[in-house]
Structure formats: C-alpha cells, structure tokens
C-alpha cells in the first residue's frame, strides 16, 4: 500500500496503532508520519524505525492521505484546528480514535473533509481486535476499503451507524474487561469447590473461551446452538445454564444501564469541552 499515513498523538492507542501498522508491513515505514505533544516521547523512535518524526501535528498531516487522531476528547479541537491549516486538499481522510465527539461537531472544523471514527479493543495486542468503525457522508467506498485494510492488520472490522457506536463500544472495547470480570468470578467460585491451582483454572477457562469463540465463528453457530450441543436434557450442564438464564439477565441489564448512562455523560462532557 503506497498510502501515506499520519499518527497524531503517541499515547497508548497511537503507540499500538504504529506498532501494528509497521508489523503488518502494509505501509512502508517511510510513509508513516508521527507527531506528539511531547516531542521527546517520539524522538526515540528514530533508533528503531525509519518513520518520519514530526515536531508539529501540521507537519505530520501535510503530506499524507490518512490522518489518525489519537488524542483525548479535550485535545481534539485544538489538534484539528492545527492540522486544518494544511488541509486545503479535502481528499485527506481524518480518523478519530475517540467516538465521544459527534460528526456534526467535527465537521464544524473539518468542513467538507472525509471523517471516520474507530474503536479498537485491547485484543489488538494479539491481532484479535474487533474494531468498529463509522463514517461521515464524505467517505467513499475506496476510502472505506483502504481504512479496513489497515484495521484488518490487527483484527476484524465491523461498520456501524454513528448512533450505534456507544453500544458497539460496550460490546468490543469494554467487553474484554467485562468478560475478564465474569470469568474471574467463575474462577473464585470454582476455587471454593476444588484444590486445582488458580493459574490452572485461568488457563482452562481462557482456552475454553477461545475455543468456544472459534467454534461459533468458524462453524457459524449461534450461542443457542452451542448451549443445545453441550447442555443435554437432564444433564449437568443444563442445571448450570438454567441458573445463568434465570439469574444473569438482571446483572446484564444493570451493567448496560450503568455503562450507557456513564457513556452518555462522558459524551456530553466531551462535546462541551470540544465546543469551548
């Protein structure tokens, strides 16, 4: 891919994105431009890569086609205003790694520009991210394909409408934490009934979780079909699934009520900060 990309902001997400793009060898290192508020933090990249280290965000954005903006919501407005000074070419594609700011807010600064928003997950570290993406009306089929090709270098990609990005984030970005919390409780519950070491229980649960996921994806099975295969009538598994199906929905409802309300407040605060 001959596309030139800029990564603006070298925090945890910017660092992850840079490493994944470089490791994929999809884009030559010399076609990657990196900028960060603290220049010393990226200056050391020269020792490891041949990427372009830029002193300003405008410098990073000037000669590229795709710009990944990996900064906090409070800093997005300032960063966009800076890079817009070199954005006479409306063909540049701006990618925000924060979904809190709505397209209508972003478009007040990036008038007429292609804008996408993406949410990867921590599983990108092992190239298993379920990344969700949404686009404004300026992003065409070619742009979507080009971005997906980059994102698929560290996982799967699903496109959602902007209004569903909140729940999408719960299901992909937050879910590793939710899943770990659920299985941690299962581990603690199991330890009350067994002498198996905790690390072995973790390995058993994690590998079973991976295997179940592959079974569902590769065999195109539903959750209900997996339950039916394992929880035979009158069997041990059926007793356990009955408890889960009766008790767990209350936990799930409360979890989403709390997280989506918190997300709503976070979005409102981000928009207020962006509007200053």
Q: What is the pLDDT of residues 50-74, one digit of tens each?
A: 999 999 999 999 989 999 999 988 8
Mean pLDDT value across residues 192-208: 96
Mean pLDDT value across residues 105-114: 91
Beginning with the edge strand found earlier in the chain, give each strand of the sheet holding 155-159 in spatial order. 52-53, 32-35, 5-8, 66-69, 93-96, 114-119, 129-135, 155-159
Q: Which of 71-75, 86-90, 232-236 has the highest mean pLDDT?
A: 232-236
- The CA distances from residue 218 to 175, 215, 222, 260, in Å, are 21, 6, 11, 31
Residue 100 sits at φ, ψ, to 5 deg, of -70, -35
Which residue segments constitute the domains of the chain, with CATH numbers given? 5-160 (3.40.50.720), 175-275 (1.10.3730)
Q: Give the pLDDT score at 29.
A: 95
Rounded to the nearest 10 degrees, the angle between the axes of helix 165-172 and helix 175-191 is: 40
Q: Give the pLDDT score at 90.
A: 77
Residue 66 sits at φ, ψ, to 5 deg, of -125, 130
**Rounded CA separation 27/9 (Å):** 19
Residue 25 sits at φ, ψ, to 5 deg, of 60, 20
Q: Give the pLDDT score at 83.
A: 93
Mean pLDDT value across residues 13-23: 93
């Amino acid at each position: 891919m001959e596309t030139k990309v800029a990564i603006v902001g070298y925090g945890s997400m910017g660092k992850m994105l840079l490493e994944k793009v470089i490791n994929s060898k999809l884009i030559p290192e010399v076609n990657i431009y990196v900028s960060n508020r603290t220049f010393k933090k990226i200056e050391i990249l020269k020792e490891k890569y041949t990427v372009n280290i830029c002193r300003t965000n405008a410098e990073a954005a000037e000669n590229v086609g795709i710009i990944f903006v990996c900064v906090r919501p409070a800093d997005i407005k300032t960063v966009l205003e800076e890079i817009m000074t070199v954005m006479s070419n409306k063909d540049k594609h701006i990618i925000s790694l924060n979904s809190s700011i709505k397209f209508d807010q972003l478009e007040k600064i990036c008038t007429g520009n292609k804008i996408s928003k993406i949410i990867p997950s921590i599983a990108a570290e092992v190239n298993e991210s379920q990344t969700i993406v949404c686009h404004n009306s300026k992003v065409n089929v070619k742009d979507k394909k080009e971005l997906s090709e980059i994102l698929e270098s560290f996982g799967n990609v699903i496109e959602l409408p902007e209004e569903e990005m909140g729940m999408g984030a719960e299901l992909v970005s937050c879910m590793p934490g939710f899943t770990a919390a659920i299985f941690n409780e299962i581990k603690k519950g199991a330890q009350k009934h067994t002498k198996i070491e905790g690390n072995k229980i973790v390995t058993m649960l994690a590998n079973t979780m991976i295997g179940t996921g592959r079974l569902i994806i590769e065999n195109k099975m539903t959750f209900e079909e997996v339950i039916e295969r394992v929880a035979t009538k009158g069997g041990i598994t059926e007793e356990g699934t009955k408890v889960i199906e009766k008790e767990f929905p209350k936990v799930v409802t409360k979890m989403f009520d709390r997280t989506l309300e918190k997300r709503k407040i976070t979005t409102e605060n981000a928009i207020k900060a962006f509007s200053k």
